[in-house]
Amino acid sequence: MKLNELKVSNPYLALDPEFYERVKPDPLEKAHLIHVNKTVAKTLNIDEEELESEDFVRLLNGEFEAEGSDPFAMCYAGHQFGHFVPRLGDGRAINIGTIDKFQLQLKGAGITEYSRMGDGRAVLRSSIREYLMSEAMTNLRIPTTLCLGIIGSEHPVSRQGIEETGAIVCRVSTSWVRFGTFEYFAANGEFEKLKALADYVINENFPHINGRPDPYKLLFNEVMVITSRLLAQWMSVGFNHGVMNTDNMSIAGLTIDYGPFAFLDDFKHGNVCNHTDTEGRYSYESQPAVSKWNLERLMKALSPLTPIEGMEKLLSIYDKIYARYTHYYMCKKLGLEGTVEGDPDLIDDMYDMLEKLKVDYTLFLRTLSHYKHKGDRSDLLATALYHEPMNEWLDVYDERIKYIDPTERRNQMLNVNPKYVLKNYMLQEGIDAAEKGDFSVVDNLFKIAKQPFEEHPEFERWAKATPKEFRNQRLSCSS
C-alpha cells in the first residue's frame, strides 16, 4: 500500500472520553529517519518503496495524517514501586491509528494531558534501546510490542541537566491496555467503564471468551496464564525488565515499555538493572513474584465484575503454572527430552554453579549446545575461572543426556539458545556512535537482533562474555 492510500481506524475512541485525550502530535524539529523495520512495515502492508519517502518520516513525526486519523493519548493508573498512583496515562505517547489489528503509537511525540511535569519527549538513546530490543525479543520468540521505525532529530531535549536530542519510535501493538488501565476505573468506582474496558479487551485480544459464562473470570485466567508464560520466557533468556510497575504490564501478555532493562551478563539471581531500584524490588529473581503481585492488583481491579474468590482460586495456582512453563523452556534449553525426577534440581544447580563461577549466561548455554561428551569440555570450562563446580555439574548432565541423540540435541539447543542477545554494553556502543551521527552500529545490532540464533562471524566479538568493566551495570530511568 502507498502511504497516501493508508486508512486507519480508532476503535478505542468508541469508549467513554474519560479513557483518552484527543491530542495532536507535536513534531520534532529537523527529523530524519534512522532505521525502519521492513518486516513490521510488511505486516502493516506498507510498500517497501514508501519507506524511503519524505512522507514516511512525516508519518513517524506525526505530521502525515492518514485517512481516518484522530490521534489520542490513553489514560491509566498504576502501582509504581508498590505505591498506587491514581492517574498516569500516556505522557509522551500518542496513538495515531489502527491498521488491521495493529495500533500505531508515536513515543516521544509531545505533551498530553497526562504528561504531568514531563516534556512529552524521548531521547535518542532510550529510543534506540526500545527500537532494537523489540526486534530482539521478537526473534527470541518472546511476545513484545514492535517498532515500525525510529527517527532522530535536532530537537533539543534536556535530561538531568544534559542537552540531548529528541527521537520518536513508532510503536506497534495489538494492545496498549495495561493492568493500570483497569486500576484507574476500579479506583474511581466507575464500574460501568470498567466493564466496558473488559469487554473491549475481550473483543480485541481474547475473542474466544466472548459469549461464555463468567467472561471476566476467564479474562483474568487468560491474562494470568499468558503473563506467567511471558515471565518464564524472560527468565529463560536472562531478561531483567527493570520497571515492572502495573502501568508497564500489558493486558495482552506482551513485553512493554522498555526502559533500564538488561540481559544478564554473568548469571546473578539478584541482578538489579534499574539504578533507581535501591531495594531491588525488580531484581531478576523477583520478577515472577512481582508479576504475581501485579496480577493480584489486576484481580482486585476486576473484582467488581466477577467474584474475587474465583480469581483468588486461579491465582493460587500461579506458581505452579509458572513452574511448568519454566520447566518447559529450560528443558528445551538444556536439550533434555522427556521428564526425569531430578530435572528441576539439575536446572537449579546449573544456576547456582553459574552464579558461583560468574559465568556469562548466554555464552554458557550456547557453548553447552555444542557440547558432545566428557572429553569435549574445554570450551565450556573456558567460560569460567575455576573448573571444579562446572565439572561436577557436567558429570550429572552427562548422565542425564546419555540416551539422547547428540545431533538432535545439538540442533534443538542451537535453535533455542541464542548466540547473540543485546547486552547493555552493545546497545551503548550503538548509542555512542549514533549520538555522533554514525548509525552503522545500530544497523549491525539490528542484524543480530533479527537473527540471534545465527552465527554472524563478523560480529563474533559480541558473542563473547561481556567485557569485565561493563558487567551487571545499573541504568538510570531517565529517558
Query: What residues make contact with Mg ion under the rule CB under 5 A?
Result: 248, 257
Task: Please report, for residues 47, 60, 135, the alpha-carbon distance to residue 39 in angstroms, rounded to integers and kept in the order given.
Answer: 11, 16, 10
The answer to whether the annotation marks 171 as part of a ligand binding site is: yes
DSSP 363: H
Residue 74 CB, shortest distance to Mg ion, in Å, is: 11
Q: Which is nearer to ligand AMP, 259 or 452 (CB)?
A: 259
DSSP 28: P
Q: Which helix (H) or strand (E) holds 95?
A: strand 93-99
- Determine the residue type at 47: D
Q: Does 63 bind ligand AMP (CB under 6 A)?
A: no
Task: Please report, for residues 379, 380, 381, 388, 391, the alpha-carbon distance to residue 375 in angstroms, rounded to integers and kept in the order given.
Answer: 11, 11, 12, 15, 11
Q: Are 22 and 60 in contact (CB under 8 A)?
A: no
Cα separation of 255 and 253, whole Å?
Answer: 7
State the binding partner of 190 from Mg ion, ligand AMP, none, CB within 5 to 8 A by kind: none
The answer to whether the annotation marks 338 as part of a ligand binding site is: no
Q: Does 115 bind ligand AMP (CB under 6 A)?
A: yes
Query: Smallest Cα–Cα separation from 426: which of 355, 334, 360?
Result: 360
State the binding partner of 119 from Mg ion, ligand AMP, none, CB within 5 to 8 A by kind: ligand AMP
State the binding partner of 92 from Mg ion, ligand AMP, none, CB within 5 to 8 A by kind: ligand AMP
Give the x/- contact pattern for ligand AMP in 91-110, rule: CB under 6 A.
Answer: xx------------------
From 17, 68, 82, 118, residue interacting with ligand AMP (rule: CB under 6 A): 118
The answer to whether the annotation marks 120 as part of a ligand binding site is: yes
Q: Are 133 and 261 in contact (CB under 8 A)?
A: yes
Name the catalytic one among 247, 266, 277, 360: 247
User: Which neighbouring-strand residues pair with 355?
Assistant: none
From 215, 242, 253, 259, residue interacting with ligand AMP (rule: CB under 6 A): 259
From 79, 121, 178, 423, residue interacting with ligand AMP (rule: CB under 6 A): 121
The answer to whether the annotation marks 259 as part of a ligand binding site is: no
Q: Which is nearer to ligand AMP, 122 or 298 (CB)?
A: 122
From 94, 177, 243, 463, residue interacting with ligand AMP (rule: CB under 6 A): 243
Cα separation of 464 and 467, whole Å?
Answer: 8
Contacts of 7 (CB under 8 A, 6+ apart): 66, 67, 68, 99
State the binding partner of 155 from Mg ion, ligand AMP, none, CB within 5 to 8 A by kind: none
Q: Are 350 and 365 in contact (CB under 8 A)?
A: no
Residue for grid cell 567485557: 467
Known active-site residue 247: yes
Give the x/- contact pattern for ligand AMP in 74-93, rule: CB under 6 A.
Answer: --------------xxxxx-
State the binding partner of 120 from Mg ion, ligand AMP, none, CB within 5 to 8 A by kind: ligand AMP
Q: Which three cell numbers stand for residue 295?
A: 496480577
Q: Which is nearer to Mg ion, 171 or 358 (CB)?
A: 171
Q: Does 256 bind ligand AMP (CB under 6 A)?
A: no
Query: Smallest Cα–Cα separation from 251: which of 303, 317, 210, 298?
Result: 298
Q: Which is nearer to Mg ion, 248 or 412 (CB)?
A: 248
Helix (H, G, I), strand (E, B) or coil at 135: helix
Residues within the annotated binding site for Mg(2+)? 248, 257
**Catalytically active residues, by annotation:** 247
Residues within the annotated binding site for ATP? 89, 91-92, 107, 119-120, 171, 178, 257
Residues that bind ligand AMP (CB under 6 A): 88-92, 114-115, 118-121, 243, 248, 257, 259
